[in-house]
A and B are shown apart, each in its own frame.
Chain A
Amino acid sequence: MPLSLLIWLPAVSGLVAVLWPARWAPRVVLAGSVITLVLAIGYVASFDRGAEGLQWVTDETWIAELGIHYKLGLDGLNLFLVLVTALLFAAALLHANLREWERPRLFFFMFALAESAVLGAFLAQDLALFVAFFDLMLIPFYFLIGAWGRGERVRATTKLVIYTLVGSLFMLAGAIATGVIAAEGGGELTFVLSDLAQVQLAEGTQQWIFLCFALAFLVKMPLFPVHGWMPDGYRAMPLPVLAVFSAVLSKVAAYGFLRVVLPLYPDASVHFQELMLLLAVAAILYGSVMAFTQTDLRLILGFSSMAQLGFIVLGIFALRPEGAQGALLQMVNHALVVVPLFFVVGALAARAGGSEDIRDMGGMAARAPLLAATFLIAALANLAMPGFANFVGEFYILLGVFESKLAIAIVASTGVVLASVYMLRAFIATMHNRAGSRAESRELSLGEGVAIVPLVVCVLALALYPQLPLARSEKSIDASVRTAQAVQR
């Protein structure tokens, strides 16, 4: 089965939805995303964990003149990210189906296009194709946030898009330079990642290209100094859009480090290792402290995500297989946890007169044990309670960092403690405490339950069996980190 099917199925369902009557659009796109999910599960089930390298490779020449290939492939790095993407988009579309949207055809078309672009970015095995999908991801979100957002949506959208596109343009320049410079000296111009990895660029070249890519990825995540778009953006996004944005798009950026940066620019990765680790620690501390001081639930989750992504970057730039393994597991964990958390925020807001401020909530657990239970499970998972896969992920990450940079690991481990502080604060303030004036305790409705509970079940399943992704990603992780690790020694 070609991987193109997986990528383009959502977009096709979006086009079909545009052509059919408006009231069917939500269902059609939801159906498309569910079929995509089934396909993704099929890939995971038949993935050969013993084999090295890419599986189900599609390799067509796209633009021969520029050496750009339409090359797709699955390996341990992207297998579970693809699965999680398909799962979370299906969940978000289910959630979006629970309410009415203005101009539903355009909304669901854009949503479907977003899924296609994200899957494309994960599956692309050509640098130019990756950059193209990476930039393309933003276009549907521009419309989704700008046209269906809340509050100061236009300003927030413009800010978000300009921030991320500026990063992307640097990345574009870096990508073109990589291909062109690698072809100097008689080689044929190509952007295929596996070919580019054979060529070692000069260290100075690697360094500036590394900075271009790092900027693009750090803005997308976002990490501490370049997160300016995040508060406004998070406040403005419609909830299902926010859920996938926070869960999946940040992972594309982190995945980019593993897929592109470490194998292609190993010297620069070692050169800038300490810088990246310090940025990661800064993000962990800053994110945690900010999450602790915010009262808007969206921002609490936003800054908590920043701290989690700090951990992920920390793991990647430990430049050790253990660290990168932990980072990859943590990407899956965080994506899987943050979406039900955002849905819970939506449910809570519906019970607090539309407010998402924790000061307007309280006592929500009284008559809603299921809501409280799901929130508690997701919150405990997010704070990396031992027993959850998040704990395994953070453990691996810190293990990797302890091996390479002891001092940084010690500082970073305080982030684990801080996480329990801000997550439990959010839980207690909303669920227990004294009831807010507008707060009303009500059990999950059927629709909310259908969207939230399966995801929480997935979190629990992963807690019981974290080896599922770990075993399948080991070989690819080793391959990704190998060159950089060799440089370091």
Chain B
Amino acid sequence: MTPEAPHIDWAGLSPIVALTAGGIVVLAAGLFRGAWLRRYGVPLLTLLTLGATAGLSIWQWGEDKAIVSRALAVDDLAMFLNLLFCAGAIAAVVLALRDSSPEESGHGEWHALLISSVLGMTVLASAQNLVVVFLGFELLSIPLYVMCATNLRRSKSLESGLKYLIVGSVGSATLLYGLAMIYGATGATGFEQIATALSSQAGLIDDPLTLTGIGLIVVGFCFKVSAAPFHQWTPDVYEGAPTPVTAFMAVATKAAAFGAFVRLFDVALIDAATNWSPLLAAVAVASIVVGNVGALTQTSLKRLLAWSSIAQAGYMLAAVVVADREGVEALAFYLAVYLVMNLAAFAVIVARERETPFGDDIRSLAGLGASRPALAWPMTLAMLSLAGIPATAGFIGKFTLIGATVDGGYTWLGVAIVVGSMLSLYYYLRVVAAMWLSDVPVPAAREPVPAIAGGSPELDAAADPEDGAGQDAGPDRPVSQAEATAVAVLFGAATLFFGILPSPLFDLARDAGSALGLL
């Protein structure tokens, strides 16, 4: 028999191809000298790449196939997550338009790193082979280590990058060890073969090698989704990294890691569920408690959102524990909701960091309700949604999560989510109170705003239907962050929209949820 050239399914690979090609083009474009090209051309090319990837993912919706010797799944779950990654990355690019971090580290490099991180996420989200899992894991992490440190002149940013690198490497190493042990125990790297081996060979489920492997994999993933007790890096890294990078990291990394998490545990290791579900349930509860308690006293908004993200990771882990179709559906839905509400919040933080001297301190929001309703409303909706108040997407998200846990026989996990939400009310409402209930901001808040080209009061006014009275401030009014405001308004509106009409998102989440073939 003559060796035949393997069949390559270019259509299925197309999102990955688009990202790879786009990354190279962006990197090359960054080498040109023209300031305009670097400043606007590179972000534009990046946006095109991400838009094309999202488009190709939509094109591949419903294909439901496995490519590259069944190592990559092109199913609705992967495509759904691709859309989330692209949304997160697009928001990050827009928020970084006037940020100093691409400036300092080179536009081409910054954006190429962003694209390659998205590439890693796409690979990770569709991986159904242990080797590919690790490949995707590293491809997503390494660019992020660098991006955290791209504010080259700020020591906190460098510290953040270094911390993330060290902790992340420990996580990767642990994960790799675990993957190797699973391979050793089952003799397979493909998820389907692992599942077959676990179900057919008696005693393999309780084999020490399998158990150790599962334990180490859980630890490795917990580092990435920042679940307690492997969360310590999160507040520092979130705080130190440039805010657009933090925004991207918070929403997209979490989606990618949970995508891989659910695929690995609910497909490959599903037969060992009796062994890992108590462990994961414990981690979920620990994250809910640690995250919410840690957030209570924070005054830095980025740290607050970091702790809140630990708690939210706990909520989502509950859906992984349930390990049925409803759980995956709830997880997919919640990941999308989580993205929407966090991006709204981060966009506001970005805008306020540039407008006030307080950085990301909660004081930067004081009196925002009166002075900048176009920023205050999205932030309010984001906080209410994170707390799970009705008429926001977060309420529906929590509703589905709790419904899935109760239906899956884990009522006590649902109760843990409820108790966690109670704790979280305190700190989310503190942010809302700062915006609406505190008095006029300190006058110094208005001074050191650099006059940056591109600020457009008209657009700001157009995006501000709530209260035109905020517009009549005097000439000392800070330069409006039009694009950050636009991102905030867009995602704030989405938070409200999916809170009232969640059905479109549910349809997508249901397709994604049924991709794994669980009951």
Residues of A within 8 A of B (CB): 18-19, 22, 63-66, 103, 105-106, 128, 131-133, 135-136, 139, 142-143, 146-147, 153-154, 157-158, 161-162, 165-166, 169-170, 172-173, 176-177, 179-181, 184, 189
How far is A19 from B438 in the complex, measured between Cα atoms in Å?
24
How far is A172 from B414 in the complex, measured between Cα atoms in Å?
10
Interface stretch, picked from B287-295, B392-400, B480-488, is B392-400
Q: Which A-chain residue is minimally distant from B329 (CB atoms)?
A: A65
Does A135 lie within 8 Å of B389, measured CB to CB? yes
Q: Contacts A173-B414, A176-B406 given: A139-B422 contact, CB under 8 Å?
A: no
Does A170 lie within 8 Å of B418, measured CB to CB? yes
How far is A170 from B399 in the complex, measured between Cα atoms in Å?
12
Q: Contacts A18-B467, A136-B390 given: A162-B426 contact, CB under 8 Å?
A: yes
Q: Which of B414, B418, B466, B469 has the largest number of chain A CB atoms within 10 A?
A: B418
Q: Which B-chain residue is minimally distant from A212 (CB atoms)?
A: B418
Does B406 lie within 8 Å of A162, measured CB to CB? no
Q: Contacts A132-B395, A139-B389, A173-B418 given: A180-B403 contact, CB under 8 Å?
A: yes
A158 CB contacts on chain B under 8 angstroms: 426, 429-430, 433
Q: Contacts A63-B503, A180-B403 given: A162-B418 contact, CB under 8 Å?
A: no
How close is A70's CB to chain B, nearest CB, in angstroms?
A: 10
Give the contacting residue for B438; candidates A22, A143, A154, A161; CB below 8 A: A154
Does A66 lie within 8 Å of B403, measured CB to CB? yes
Asked if B276 is at the interface (CB within 8 A of a chain A CB), the reply is no
Residues of B within 8 A of A (CB): 369-370, 384, 387-391, 395-396, 398-400, 402-403, 406-407, 411, 414-415, 418, 421-422, 425-426, 429-430, 432-433, 436-438, 465-467, 469, 502-503, 506, 510
B432 CB contacts on chain A under 8 angstroms: 142
A172 CB contacts on chain B under 8 angstroms: 388, 398-399, 402, 418
How far is A216 from B181 in the complex, measured between Cα atoms in Å?
50
Does B399 lie within 8 Å of A105, measured CB to CB? no
A165 CB contacts on chain B under 8 angstroms: 387, 389, 422, 425
How close is B401's CB to chain A, nearest CB, in angstroms?
A: 10
Does B425 lie within 8 Å of A161, measured CB to CB? yes
A131 CB contacts on chain B under 8 angstroms: 390
Does A106 lie within 8 Å of B437, measured CB to CB? no
Does B389 lie within 8 Å of A161, measured CB to CB? no
How far is A221 from B384 in the complex, measured between Cα atoms in Å?
23
A177 CB contacts on chain B under 8 angstroms: 406, 411, 414
Q: Which B-chain residue is minimally distant from A65 (CB atoms)?
A: B506
A133 CB contacts on chain B under 8 angstroms: 390
How close is A100's CB to chain B, nearest CB, in angstroms?
A: 15
Q: Which 3 A-B pairs have the closest CB atoms?
A: A132-B390, A146-B437, A65-B506
How close is A182's CB to chain B, nearest CB, in angstroms?
A: 11
B406 CB contacts on chain A under 8 angstroms: 176-177, 180-181
Does B418 lie within 8 Å of A169, measured CB to CB? yes
Q: Which B-chain residue is minimally distant from A68 (CB atoms)?
A: B399
How close is A467's CB to chain B, nearest CB, in angstroms?
A: 37
How close is A170's CB to chain B, nearest CB, in angstroms?
A: 7
How close is B284's CB to chain A, nearest CB, in angstroms?
A: 16
Does B437 lie within 8 Å of A132, measured CB to CB? no
How close is A409's CB to chain B, nearest CB, in angstroms?
A: 37
How far is A165 from B429 in the complex, measured between Cα atoms in Å?
11
How far is A158 from B426 in the complex, measured between Cα atoms in Å?
8
A105 CB contacts on chain B under 8 angstroms: 467, 469
B395 CB contacts on chain A under 8 angstroms: 132, 135
How close is A132's CB to chain B, nearest CB, in angstroms?
A: 4
Does A169 lie within 8 Å of B469, measured CB to CB? no
A146 CB contacts on chain B under 8 angstroms: 433, 436-437
Does A162 lie within 8 Å of B390, measured CB to CB? no
A180 CB contacts on chain B under 8 angstroms: 403, 406-407
Q: What are 5 A-B contacts with C-beta separation under 8 Å?
A: A19-B465, A64-B503, A64-B506, A135-B395, A181-B406
How far is A311 from B328 in the complex, measured between Cα atoms in Å?
48
Does B422 lie within 8 Å of A169, measured CB to CB? yes
Does B403 lie within 8 Å of A157, measured CB to CB? no
Does B399 lie within 8 Å of A176, measured CB to CB? yes
